[in-house]
Amino acid sequence: RTLAHLYGAEGENYSVRLLAEGLATLLIFPPNTEHVDKLKMAQSSARRAGKGLWRSELVRPVSSSEVAEHENGVLWVEGRIERLRKTRFAVFIELPGDLVLKTTHKEWVTFESWESEFQRGQRISVLGDLYRVKGRPRIRLRHPAQLMD
Protein backbone atom coordinates (compact mmCIF):
# COMPACT_ATOMS: atom_id res chain seq x y z
CA ARG A 1 0.00 0.00 0.00
CA THR A 2 1.25 3.47 -0.80
CA LEU A 3 0.57 6.51 1.35
CA ALA A 4 0.80 9.81 -0.48
CA HIS A 5 -0.10 13.48 -0.22
CA LEU A 6 -2.42 14.70 -2.98
CA TYR A 7 -2.11 18.25 -4.30
CA GLY A 8 -4.24 20.26 -6.72
CA ALA A 9 -2.86 22.12 -9.73
CA GLU A 10 -2.55 25.26 -7.58
CA GLY A 11 -0.60 23.41 -4.87
CA GLU A 12 -3.52 22.90 -2.46
CA ASN A 13 -3.05 19.93 -0.12
CA TYR A 14 -6.28 17.94 -0.50
CA SER A 15 -5.80 16.10 2.81
CA VAL A 16 -5.73 19.42 4.67
CA ARG A 17 -8.83 20.57 2.76
CA LEU A 18 -10.80 17.39 3.50
CA LEU A 19 -9.93 17.59 7.21
CA ALA A 20 -10.73 21.33 7.37
CA GLU A 21 -14.18 20.68 5.89
CA GLY A 22 -14.82 17.82 8.30
CA LEU A 23 -14.97 15.24 5.53
CA ALA A 24 -12.24 12.96 6.92
CA THR A 25 -10.50 11.96 10.13
CA LEU A 26 -6.78 12.07 10.71
CA LEU A 27 -4.79 8.86 10.92
CA ILE A 28 -1.01 9.15 10.92
CA PHE A 29 1.28 6.33 9.82
CA PRO A 30 4.91 7.12 10.66
CA PRO A 31 7.26 7.83 9.04
CA ASN A 32 4.70 9.68 6.85
CA THR A 33 4.48 12.67 9.24
CA GLU A 34 5.58 15.53 6.99
CA HIS A 35 2.40 17.65 7.32
CA VAL A 36 1.11 16.39 10.65
CA ASP A 37 0.86 19.84 12.29
CA LYS A 38 -1.22 21.29 9.43
CA LEU A 39 -3.40 18.19 9.30
CA LYS A 40 -4.01 18.14 13.05
CA MET A 41 -4.86 21.86 13.05
CA ALA A 42 -7.31 21.40 10.16
CA GLN A 43 -9.11 18.54 11.94
CA SER A 44 -9.23 20.39 15.27
CA SER A 45 -10.73 23.52 13.73
CA ALA A 46 -13.36 21.49 11.83
CA ARG A 47 -14.27 19.61 15.02
CA ARG A 48 -14.57 22.82 17.09
CA ALA A 49 -16.69 24.42 14.34
CA GLY A 50 -18.90 21.33 14.02
CA LYS A 51 -18.23 20.96 10.29
CA GLY A 52 -18.98 17.89 8.21
CA LEU A 53 -18.91 14.61 10.08
CA TRP A 54 -18.22 16.47 13.36
CA ARG A 55 -21.87 17.70 13.18
CA SER A 56 -23.13 14.16 13.55
CA GLU A 57 -24.22 12.67 16.85
CA LEU A 58 -22.49 9.51 15.63
CA VAL A 59 -19.09 11.19 15.86
CA ARG A 60 -18.64 11.66 19.55
CA PRO A 61 -16.16 10.24 22.01
CA VAL A 62 -17.09 6.80 23.24
CA SER A 63 -16.27 5.80 26.79
CA SER A 64 -13.61 3.10 26.90
CA SER A 65 -16.10 1.05 28.94
CA GLU A 66 -18.48 1.02 25.94
CA VAL A 67 -15.89 -0.04 23.33
CA ALA A 68 -16.76 -3.74 23.57
CA GLU A 69 -20.12 -2.93 21.92
CA HIS A 70 -18.46 -1.41 18.83
CA GLU A 71 -17.23 -3.07 15.70
CA ASN A 72 -13.65 -2.73 14.54
CA GLY A 73 -12.75 0.47 12.70
CA VAL A 74 -11.91 4.10 13.39
CA LEU A 75 -13.23 5.18 16.77
CA TRP A 76 -12.82 8.18 19.09
CA VAL A 77 -12.37 6.84 22.63
CA GLU A 78 -12.06 8.47 26.04
CA GLY A 79 -11.19 6.99 29.38
CA ARG A 80 -9.05 7.23 32.48
CA ILE A 81 -5.74 5.42 32.49
CA GLU A 82 -5.74 2.43 34.82
CA ARG A 83 -2.21 1.25 34.12
CA LEU A 84 0.80 1.93 31.92
CA ARG A 85 2.91 -1.16 31.30
CA LYS A 86 6.20 -1.35 29.42
CA THR A 87 7.52 -4.65 28.13
CA ARG A 88 10.57 -5.52 26.07
CA PHE A 89 8.57 -5.08 22.88
CA ALA A 90 5.87 -2.47 23.49
CA VAL A 91 4.12 -0.01 25.77
CA PHE A 92 0.54 -0.74 26.82
CA ILE A 93 -1.88 1.81 28.26
CA GLU A 94 -4.84 0.07 29.88
CA LEU A 95 -8.24 1.77 30.13
CA PRO A 96 -11.56 0.66 31.68
CA GLY A 97 -13.59 -1.79 29.63
CA ASP A 98 -10.59 -3.97 28.82
CA LEU A 99 -9.38 -1.48 26.17
CA VAL A 100 -5.63 -1.38 25.58
CA LEU A 101 -3.74 1.33 23.71
CA LYS A 102 -0.56 -0.18 22.30
CA THR A 103 2.56 1.42 20.87
CA THR A 104 5.97 0.05 19.98
CA HIS A 105 9.07 1.38 21.71
CA LYS A 106 10.11 2.98 18.42
CA GLU A 107 6.79 4.87 18.27
CA TRP A 108 6.82 5.60 22.03
CA VAL A 109 9.74 7.99 21.45
CA THR A 110 7.29 10.43 19.81
CA PHE A 111 5.11 10.30 22.96
CA GLU A 112 7.89 10.93 25.49
CA SER A 113 7.02 14.62 25.86
CA TRP A 114 3.46 13.45 26.65
CA GLU A 115 4.55 10.85 29.23
CA SER A 116 3.36 13.01 32.15
CA GLU A 117 -0.13 12.76 30.56
CA PHE A 118 -0.01 8.97 30.74
CA GLN A 119 -0.33 8.60 34.51
CA ARG A 120 -2.86 6.46 36.35
CA GLY A 121 -6.15 8.32 36.68
CA GLN A 122 -5.40 10.77 33.86
CA ARG A 123 -8.13 11.19 31.23
CA ILE A 124 -7.07 10.36 27.69
CA SER A 125 -8.93 10.95 24.44
CA VAL A 126 -7.72 9.07 21.34
CA LEU A 127 -8.80 8.71 17.72
CA GLY A 128 -7.60 5.43 16.27
CA ASP A 129 -8.30 2.20 14.48
CA LEU A 130 -9.98 -0.31 16.79
CA TYR A 131 -9.01 -3.96 16.37
CA ARG A 132 -9.07 -7.03 18.60
CA VAL A 133 -6.46 -9.43 19.94
CA LYS A 134 -7.99 -12.60 21.41
CA GLY A 135 -11.30 -10.74 21.58
CA ARG A 136 -9.80 -7.88 23.59
CA PRO A 137 -10.21 -4.37 22.06
CA ARG A 138 -7.05 -2.46 21.14
CA ILE A 139 -6.08 0.75 19.46
CA ARG A 140 -2.59 1.17 18.08
CA LEU A 141 -0.99 4.48 19.06
CA ARG A 142 1.31 5.49 16.23
CA HIS A 143 1.66 9.25 16.74
CA PRO A 144 0.64 11.98 19.25
CA ALA A 145 -1.65 13.45 16.56
CA GLN A 146 -4.11 10.71 17.61
CA LEU A 147 -4.56 12.44 20.98
CA MET A 148 -7.67 14.59 20.77
CA ASP A 149 -7.64 18.06 22.33
Which residues are CB-neighbours of 102 under 8 A, at least 6 positions away? 90, 91, 92, 93, 138, 139, 140, 141
Per-residue pLDDT of the chain (149 residues; tens, 9 = 90+): 677 788 999 999 999 999 999 999 998 888 888 899 999 999 999 999 999 999 987 778 999 999 877 788 888 999 999 999 999 999 999 999 999 999 998 888 888 777 777 889 999 999 999 999 998 999 999 999 999 97
Give CA–CA dist 136/149, Å, rounded: 26
Would you say 16 and 38 are in contact if contact means Cβ atoms under 8 Å apart? Answer: yes
Residue of 57, 98, 53 whose CA lies nearest to 79: 98
Give CA–CA dist 132/53, Å, rounded: 25
